[in-house]
A and B are shown apart, each in its own frame.
Chain A
C-alpha cells in the first residue's frame, strides 16, 4: 500500500506501522489500533512491555504552539438575535414599523423594521456597545472579540447547526470537538475529552451535533444531561450500586491476577496489557469524574458568583472540567431550540438571557482570575441570528402574534474570548439594518479555520483519510481571520 499517502496526514494519533513495529501486535490490531496506556506511571511500571502504543486520547502536539488549550463553546441554540444583543442598530427604532429596502428571504414571511426593545450602552475601555440582556457578560468586553459579520448558508435550524458544529450542512461529518480531540487528545484520561452538555434533552439534530462520524468512536462527544445533579445520571455506568469501593477493589485485584496469569502464558501482548490497564483507569475514573461534576465542592462565593439555575450549574461544571484538563466542552442552552424567538421576542430573549448572562459573565471572570482564560477559548453564539424585521404570523404558528423575529443566516454575531483571541474589538459589520454581513464577512468555515489556528492547527492540514480522500473540518473552504488573533 501507499505509505506516502498515510504519512501525509498530519498529526495522526497513531501511525499504524509505527504502532505495530513497536509493540508487535501483529495482525491482532487492524488498521487503527487504539490502546490506552496514557498514564505515565502505569506505563513506566510496565517497562518490560515492548512499547506502549500511544492512547488515541493522549495529549498530542498541534502543528505549531497553540494559544488555546481548551474550548468552551456556549451554544445559544435556536439563534439569538444580534440586534438585541451585540449589534446595536438604533435606526431600526427610528424606522420601527416601516418597510426596509431589503429583500432577503428567510424561513418565513417577514414585515417591517422591528426596533430592539432593549437598551444598549458602552462597556469597558474598548467602549463596545452591548445590550442590557448581556450586561454581566459585557463586563468582560475587553477580553472579547465581537464578530458582527458572521454568516451561514441557509435559514433553517438543522443544516445551520450541522454547519456550525461539523462544517457541513447535511452530510455526516465529525464535529469541531471531535476534530479537536482527534488532533490534541485530552489532558485528563479519567474524564472524557469532549463533553456536550444540554439540560433536559437534546438540541435539534440531537447527538449529531457532537458526532465523530468517520473518526473513531473515542472522539465522539459524551452527552451529559445537566438537568440531573446525581453523578450516576450524568455519566453512564460511573457508579456501581452493588459493591462498595473496597469490594470492587478486591474484585479487580482478583481479575487482574487472573489476567496476569493469562498474559504470562502468552508472552508480550500490548493489547492484553492495555485492557488490563483500562480497568485501573476506569476504577479511578469513578471517583475523579464524580468530583468534576460535584459543584457542591465549590466555595459559596463562587457558587453565588455564577448564580442559580441550570445554566449557572453547567457553566461552573464547564470550568471545573477545563480546570481538570478536559479539551472541549460544549454547552447548549436547552433541549430543542430555546433561543428561537419567533414571537414574544422581548419576553423570551429577556428570560433566556436572564438565565445565562450572570453565569457566562461569571465564567469569564472566574477563568480569568484562575489564569485559565488565556488558554481557554470561550465561544458564544447560535447557529444563526435573527431578522431585524418582524416576523409575520403563519397560520397555526406564533399564535397570531407579530412581535418576534425570523431566522437570519445572512448576518449575525458571535463572540470569542480568551485562548489567544484579541479582545476588546468589534470585527466586521452588518449592513445599516443589521440584516446581512457587509464588512469583513466571516463565514462559519472561516470561524472554524480561525478556531483551529488558535488551537495550533493549520486547518488545511488536520486531516483524516476516509473513503478515498483526506477530509478536514473546513472541507475545501475557510480562511483564518488573523485580526481576531492577539
Chain B
C-alpha cells in the first residue's frame, strides 16, 4: 500500500494554481485509509471536538461540501473535505492543512485570499467567509485540526494481496481430469471437464454432427473458407479412424489458416493502415502497416511460439534476430494506432491500452487519471509504463525488412524521391524569394515604421503594430534592433518566419514523397518499428492525466500487483524488453489468449469479458477447462496449433448444433456447451465466400493493402483490404467490422436491414452473382441447380429445392439465372455455419 500513500504525500506544487474550470475533476483519489484513519488523534480532545462541531463543521458543510465531498460526488481539485482522511490528504496540488501551522496551510490561505480567482468558496458559489470564521479556522488548524468524523465513506484501499489471490493470476496448473459417465465420448481432456459440468446440471451434450456439417464447420473455422463438394465426399467416404485428424492437419498446414486467424489477432491489435485525422494536409497513410499484418499472418502459419509472438510485438528491436529481420515488423502492434493530432500522451495511452488489454486482459488505461477503481492498478503503475513508451521512439529511417527490391528498380525509386525532394526545396526557395522581394521593396517603410515603433515605448506590441501596417513583424524587428544590413536576413531565418506558408504549400509534395513507399515498386519494405530513445527516462505522474499537473517521478517497472517477489525497476534501455518478458511470462497472459482462442472457435469465450480479467471478473463456468487448456498450451511451448487441436478434436466441438431442449431449460446461455453454437459468417468470411462462389478468389499471401470497395471488386482475401480508420467505408461498419481505434475484445453481432440492402443491391454482390450465373449458362435448369447446390452448399438439392430452382429458371434467361444465383448467395444456409 505504500505506493499509493506516497503518491499523496510527496506531491509537487505546480507553480501556479490551475484555472478553476480546468480543475473540474470528479474521480476520487484513493487514499490510504488505514494509515490516515489511524494516525494520531491526540489533538482530538473533547474541547477541540466541540470547537470543530460548533465552528468548523457547519462551515465546511455549508460552504465547501458542494464541490468537495464524496456525498455530492464532487471533488474539485481532487480535494474531499467531508472526511477526516480527505481533509488531511489534500488535493491534486498537495496537502491543504499543515497541522499546527495555520499560516502554512493552503486551506486557510485560500479562504482568506483577497484575489477573487484564488478565494474559496468561489464568487459564484457564495460570499467570502467572514473574518471571524477565518479566525476560527486559524485557531482550529493551530490546535491540530481536531476532526472526529469517521472515514467510513472512503473507498477501500487497493489490496494487492487480494489481487494476488485472484483466480486469473494464479500459477498455471492442470486440474485433475474428472471421470465422466461416458468415457467413450471423451476425445480430448477438455471433454471430461465439459461433460462433468453438464452432468452437474443434468444435461447431455448433443450427438456428433453429420460429416458434411463437421467438415464445413472446421474448414470455415480454421481457414475462413468453405470446403469443396469433392472434399465433403472424400471425407464422408474416408472410413479410417483418423479421417478427421487428417483433415485438421491439412487445414492447419494451409496458408489460408494464417489469413483467418491472423485477422482475429488484428482485431486485438486495433490494426489499421492510416493514422486517423491529422491537420495540415499531412500524409494520413502508414507506409508499411501491411508488413505488420503479414508478420501476424506468418506467425500463425509458422506456429510461432506464443511467448516469442508476444515479446516480438513489444520489443523485437531488442532481440538478437540474426539475418532474418522480419520480426521487426511485429512492432506495428505498438505503432499502428491512431495519432490523436500527434499528442504524445494520447499515443502512449493507446500503446499502454493495446498492450494491457490486448495481452494481459487488464484495463491499465483506467489508471491514467486516477487509481483504478476496481483493480489494484495505481496511477503510479500507469506512469511506470508511460515512462517505458516515452523512452521509445520511432526511428527517422525505418529499418529494412528482408529482401531488397530489384537493384535497378530501387535506383529508380531513389531517383523519384530525389526529384520530389528537389521540388520541395525549389518551392521553399521560391517562397523565401517572394517574401524577400515583397518586403525588401518596402525598405524605406520599414525604416520609418521602426522609428515610429521605438517611440511608442515598451507597451507596444510589435505583432499588432506590424500587422496593422501589413508589415512582417520579424522583419521589422531587425530594424528596431538595428541589426547589420536589416534588409538581408539569413534565408533559413526567413524560412522560419514563413514556416506555415512553406508547410502548406509543400504538403502535397511531401505526401507524394511518402506515397512512393507504396506506389513505386522499387521501394523497399520496412518495419513500422520502434527503438529506444537515446536517453531513456522515467515519467512523472500526471495528476488527473493532465499535462502540467505534475506528480512524483515513478520508475519504469512492471505492475505491482503482478510482481510476486517484489519488483525492480527495469534496467535496460527503455525497459520494453523487460516489460515484454514480464508480460509473456504471466499466467494471466496465457489465460487471456486461450480464452480468446476459445471464443474465436466457439463464438463465445469462456470469460465473456475477454479483455478484462480484473478482480471483478469471476471465474467462468468452465474454469477447469480454461485452466487445463492454458496449462497444456504453455507445456507445449505455446504452440497455437496444438491449442487448436485440443479444441477442434474434442467431442464438444464435433457435436451437432441442433437445439437441445433440456440443455436450454437448465442453461439457456449454453455456457456448458451442450450444443455447438450456430454462427453467421463475419464480414471477411462472407466476402471471401462470395468471391469463391464466383470463382475468382485469390488466396495468395501478403503485400500492399487493396481498396475493397473498388469496382470491379478486387479478388484478394478481405484480410488484405485497406483499413482507413478515419473514414471506414460503410460496408465495414454495417457488417460489424471492429472499430480500429482501440483493441477489440469481441465483435458486435448485429442483424440490420442495411446488411440486407448491401446484399440485395450492391454492385459487389451483383458482380459475384453474374459470375456465378455464367457458370451455369450452358446447363439445363436442373443441372444448373444441382451444380449450384454442390458449389455453394456442398450437397445435392432436395426435391423441393430442385423444383423451386427449376421453376425459377424455367425461361432460361440470363437475368433469371442472375437473380436465382443472387438469391442463393443471400441464403441463411450460405451465410451461417452449423
Is chain B a partner of chain A in the same complex? yes
A220 CA to B602 CA, complexed, in Å: 28
Q: Provide the B494-517 mask, 1 if CB < 8 A to any CB of A, else 0.
A: 000110110011000000000000
List A contacts of B605 (CB < 8 A): 30
Binds B, one of A76-84, A235-243, A309-317, A348-356: A235-243
Q: Which residue of A lies closest to B668 (CB)?
A: A21
Once the chains bind, are A24 and B618 in contact (CB under 8 Å)?
no
Check if A486 is an interface residue, CB within 8 A of chain B.
no
- 27 inter-chain pairs at a CB distance below 8 angstroms, sorted by A residue, are A5-B616, A27-B675, A28-B678, A30-B604, A30-B749, A36-B751, A158-B341, A170-B341, A206-B727, A218-B750, A242-B819, A254-B804, A254-B808, A258-B801, A258-B804, A258-B823, A258-B824, A259-B829, A262-B829, A266-B657, A275-B756, A278-B756, A395-B500, A396-B504, A397-B501, A468-B365, A476-B24
| Minimum distance in angstroms from B730 CB to a CB of chain A | 6
Nearest 10 Cβ contacts at the A-B interface = A468-B363, A396-B501, A392-B467, A27-B677, A26-B670, A282-B756, A476-B26, A34-B750, A282-B753, A267-B659
Q: Provide the A5-20 mask, 1 if CB < 8 A to any CB of B, else 0.
A: 1000000000011001
Q: How large is the interface on B (under 10, 10 to 19, 20 to 34, 35 or more residues)?
A: 35 or more
Q: How large is the interface on A (under 10, 10 to 19, 20 to 34, 35 or more residues)?
A: 35 or more
Interface residue from A267, A275, A467 paired with B742 (Cβ < 8 Å): A467
List B contacts of A170 (CB < 8 A): 340-341, 343, 346
Are A158 and B279 CB-contacts (below 8 A) given A282-B753, A394-B500?
yes
Once the chains bind, are A214 and B758 in contact (CB under 8 Å)?
no
List A contacts of B608 (CB < 8 A): 1, 16, 30-31
A134 CA to B343 CA, complexed, in Å: 39
Once the chains bind, are B468 and A402 in contact (CB under 8 Å)?
yes
Q: Which residue of A lies closest to B503 (CB)?
A: A396
Q: Provide the B813-834 mask, 1 if CB < 8 A to any CB of A, else 0.
A: 0010011101110111101101
Most buried by A among B26, B27, B739, B824: B739
| Minimum distance in angstroms from B726 CB to a CB of chain A | 6
Are A251 and B463 CB-contacts (below 8 A) given A239-B761, A278-B753, A282-B760?
no
Q: Which residue of A lies closest to B349 (CB)?
A: A171
Are A27 and B603 CB-contacts (below 8 A) given A262-B828, A469-B366?
yes
Which residues of chain B from 337 to 367 have a CB within 8 Å of any chain A CB? Answer: 338, 340-341, 343, 346, 353, 357, 362-363, 365-366
List A contacts of B748 (CB < 8 A): 31-32, 34, 216-217
Q: Provide the B736-753 mask, 1 if CB < 8 A to any CB of A, else 0.
A: 110101100011111111
Check if A305 is an interface residue, CB within 8 A of chain B.
no
Q: Which residue of A lies closest to B737 (CB)?
A: A217
B contacts, CB < 8 Å to A: 21, 24-27, 276-277, 279, 338, 340-341, 343, 346, 353, 357, 362-363, 365-366, 372-375, 431, 435, 463-464, 467-468, 470, 472, 497-498, 500-501, 504-505, 599, 602-605, 607-609, 611-612, 614, 616-618, 620, 657-659, 664, 668-671, 673, 675-680, 726-728, 730-731, 733-734, 736-737, 739, 741-742, 746-758, 760-762, 766, 798, 800-801, 804, 808, 815, 818-820, 822-824, 826-829, 831-832, 834
| Minimum distance in angstroms from A6 CB to a CB of chain B | 10
Once the chains bind, are B801 and A261 in contact (CB under 8 Å)?
yes
Are A395 and B501 CB-contacts (below 8 A) given A262-B829, A275-B828?
yes
A351 CA to B736 CA, complexed, in Å: 42
Q: Provide the A263-296 mask, 1 if CB < 8 A to any CB of B, else 0.
A: 1001111011011101101110110000000000
List A contacts of B611 (CB < 8 A): 467
| Minimum distance in angstroms from A7 CB to a CB of chain B | 13
Check if A477 is an interface residue, CB within 8 A of chain B.
yes
A257 CA to B668 CA, complexed, in Å: 29
A257 CA to B805 CA, complexed, in Å: 11
Once the chains bind, are A2 and B726 in contact (CB under 8 Å)?
no
Interface residue from A57, A213, A218, A252 paired with B739 (Cβ < 8 Å): A213
A99 CA to B338 CA, complexed, in Å: 42
A27 CA to B668 CA, complexed, in Å: 9
Extra inter-chain contacts (6) besides given A20-B668, A469-B363, CB under 8 Å: A27-B670, A158-B341, A206-B727, A258-B801, A275-B680, A395-B500
Once the chains bind, are B340 and A171 in contact (CB under 8 Å)?
yes
| Minimum distance in angstroms from B822 CB to a CB of chain A | 7
Once the chains bind, are A272 and B832 in contact (CB under 8 Å)?
yes
Check if A111 is an interface residue, CB within 8 A of chain B.
yes
| Minimum distance in angstroms from B574 CB to a CB of chain A | 24
A263 CA to B820 CA, complexed, in Å: 20
Q: Which residue of B lies closest to A223 (CB)?
A: B730
Q: Provide the A166-199 mask, 1 if CB < 8 A to any CB of B, else 0.
A: 0000111000000000000000011010000000
Which residues of chain A from 114 to 169 have a CB within 8 Å of any chain B CB? Answer: 151, 158-159
List A contacts of B762 (CB < 8 A): 236-237
A208 CA to B748 CA, complexed, in Å: 19
Once the chains bind, are B761 and A238 in contact (CB under 8 Å)?
yes
Check if A109 is an interface residue, CB within 8 A of chain B.
yes
List A contacts of B670 (CB < 8 A): 20, 26-27
Once the chains bind, are B659 and A269 in contact (CB under 8 Å)?
yes
